[in-house]
């Protein structure tokens, strides 16, 4: 072996060692990466977020008349507000809690969409509307459901896979041309996501019925849509909400009505975050602030440690808390990724 060849080999071996140590070090760092802390902990399932100026409003499953919290920073501190709804719509049975409320501003004022058990529907839910002068409510329900297979719903959910299924998880979307839509889920399996064209005031049909966007043999729910250039990004929660494998997924299309044949990607799951069931997500864009994603996950301890289960989370102390993260869009401007979770801001 010549001296030059030996020198090259030593240098090469040293370089390999550096690469190997670097790889091991980065893997260890990833393993030690802290699990995100919730920004809101009392109870925060299916958060629907609204940014109004410097204020943030989080509407959440619960109540019975829907929970809402307010903050003037993205990470809190969050202050619980009175019930989002002033009462039940005439169509609602009054049983159970309101699920997955979400709000926006239209020409009619502040409009809240919510899912509640409907009268004469065997415990299944329909989606109603409610109005308020202030984004935090209280919202006064309108008399008839907007989306409901019975009771005169303006969208009767024609063609849903299970004729006995109700509808939940309303989420509003406004396209770049100003037209308004409401995304939602049909219950039972297979799970489906549908979109319904809305009038300009967000309270009625635009004369068209909803159409199915995608279905899942297991379950898919909590839809949210974002327009990025000529791309529509559909986010949703896959699998069952009461398990740690519940996750946030996304698909992308140039046609807002065509997602069934588009590849599904995982945005957030237990393996990538350390959280139990990171789903129920909603996205905050515009308004002069950064793009953010809010979601829930299961914790099983008083100090908000994520539950550790392979199947259904059965711990009697379980509850869902809210996390917040920065959402970025990749070099193409339309590939969602979470750059960092926001730390909670403690109350002063």
More confident site: 216 or 10: 216
The dihedral sign for the CA sequence 213, 216, 217, 221 = negative
Whether the CB-CB separation of 296 and 44 falls below 8 Å is answered with yes
Q: How far is residue 48 CA from its own chain's centroid?
A: 7
Instruction: Kindly report the pTM of this predicted structure.
Output: 0.90
> Counting beta carbons within 10 angstroms of the beta carbon of residue 291, is it exposed (0 to 12), middle (13 to 18) or buried (19 or more)?
middle
Mean pLDDT value across residues 16-28: 36
261 catalytic? Reply is no
DSSP state of 3: H
CA atoms within 13 A on the CB side of 143: 0
Q: Can you give the pLDDT at residue 33?
A: 67
Burial (CB < 10 A; 0-12, 13-18, 19+), residue 271, is exposed
Note whether 185 and 193 are within 8 A (CB): yes
Separation between Cα atoms, residue 178 and residue 229, nearest integer Å: 15
The pLDDT value recorded for residue 21 is 34
Establish whether the linkage from the previous residue to 138 is cis, with ω within 30° of 0: yes
Q: Mark whether 208 is an active-site residue.
A: no
How far is Cα 47 from Cα 280, in angstroms, rounded to an integer? Answer: 7
Q: What is the mean pLDDT of residues 118-125?
A: 98
In degrees and rounded to multiples of 5, residue 271 shows phi and psi of -65, -35
Question: What is the arithmetic mean of pLDDT over 223-247?
Answer: 97
DSSP type of residue 346:
-
Helix (H, G, I), strand (E, B) or coil at 69: strand
Mean pLDDT within 16-24: 37
In 122-230, DSSP assigns E strands to 125-132, 140-141, 167-174, 180-186, 191-198, 211-216, 220-228
Two tokens at 39?
């920004």
pLDDT in tens, 291-345: 999 999 999 999 999 999 999 999 999 999 999 999 999 999 999 999 999 999 9
Segments making up each domain of the chain, as ranges: 1-33, 40-341
Angstrom distances, CA of residue 271 to CA of 35, 46, 246, 274: 11, 21, 11, 6
Q: Is the dihedral of CA 132, 137, 143, 147 positive or negative?
A: positive
Catalytic residue among 67, 212, 221, 282: 221
What is the band of 348 on the pLDDT scale with cuts at 50, 70, 90? confident
CA distance 132 to 101: 14
Whether 209 contacts 159, CB under 8 Å: no
260 pLDDT higher than 50: yes
Question: What is the C-alpha to C-alpha distance for residues 131 and 109, in angstroms, rounded to an integer?
Answer: 7
Name the token pair of 211: 């159409």
Stronger pLDDT, 287 or 207, i.e. the higher one: 207
Q: Which two tokens stand for residue 124?
A: 């299944």
pLDDT band, very low/low/confident/very high, at 43 (cuts 50, 70, 90): confident
Per-residue confidence (pLDDT) for residue 347, from 0 to 100? 80
Range with the poorest average pLDDT among 21-25, 73-77, 141-145: 21-25
Q: What is the CATH number of domain 40-341?
A: 2.115.10.20
- pLDDT-above-90 percentage for the chain: 86
Per-residue model confidence (pLDDT) at position 34: 86
What are the tens digits of pLDDT across the range 125-174?
999 999 999 999 999 999 999 999 999 999 999 999 999 999 999 999 99
* Among 46, 102, 212, 269, the one annotated catalytic: 46
Give the pLDDT mean for 260-283: 98
Average pLDDT of the chain, as a whole number? 91
């Amino acid at each position: 072996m010549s001296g030059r060849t030996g020198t090259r080999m030593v240098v090469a071996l040293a370089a390999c060692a550096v690469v190997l140590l670097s790889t091991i070090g980065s893997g260890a760092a990833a393993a030690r990466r802290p699990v995100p802390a919730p920004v809101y902990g009392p109870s925060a399932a299916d958060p629907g977020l609204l940014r109004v100026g410097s204020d943030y409003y989080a509407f959440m499953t619960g109540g019975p008349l829907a929970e809402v919290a307010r903050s003037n920073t993205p990470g809190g501190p969050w202050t619980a507000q009175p019930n989002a709804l002033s009462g039940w719509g005439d169509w609602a049975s009054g049983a159970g809690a309101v699920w997955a409320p979400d709000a926006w501003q239209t020409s009619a004022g502040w409009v809240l969409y919510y899912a509640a058990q409907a009268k004469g529907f065997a415990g299944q839910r329909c989606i109603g509307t409610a109005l308020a002068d202030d984004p935090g409510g209280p919202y006064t329900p309108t008399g008839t459901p907007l989306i409901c297979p019975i009771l005169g719903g303006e969208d009767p959910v024609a063609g849903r896979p299970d004729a006995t299924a109700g509808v939940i998880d309303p989420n509003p979307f406004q396209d770049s041309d100003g037209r308004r839509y409401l995304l939602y889920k049909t219950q039972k399996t297979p799970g489906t996501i549908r979109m319904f064209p809305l009038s300009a005031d967000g309270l009625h049909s635009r004369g068209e019925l909803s159409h199915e966007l995608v279905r899942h043999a297991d379950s898919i729910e909590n839809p949210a849509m974002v327009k990025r250039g000529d791309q529509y990004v559909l986010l949703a929660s896959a699998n069952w909400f009461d398990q740690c494998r519940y996750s946030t997924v996304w698909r992308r299309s140039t046609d807002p009505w065509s997602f069934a044949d588009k590849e599904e990607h995982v945005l957030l799951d237990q393996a990538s975050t350390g959280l139990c069931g990171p789903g129920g997500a909603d996205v905050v864009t515009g308004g002069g602030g950064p793009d953010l994603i809010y979601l829930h996950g299961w914790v099983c301890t008083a100090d908000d440690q994520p539950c550790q289960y392979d199947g259904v989370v059965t711990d009697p102390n379980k509850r869902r808390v809210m996390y917040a993260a920065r959402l970025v869009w990749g070099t193409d401007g339309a590939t969602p990724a979470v750059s960092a979770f926001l730390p909670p801001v403690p109350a002063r």
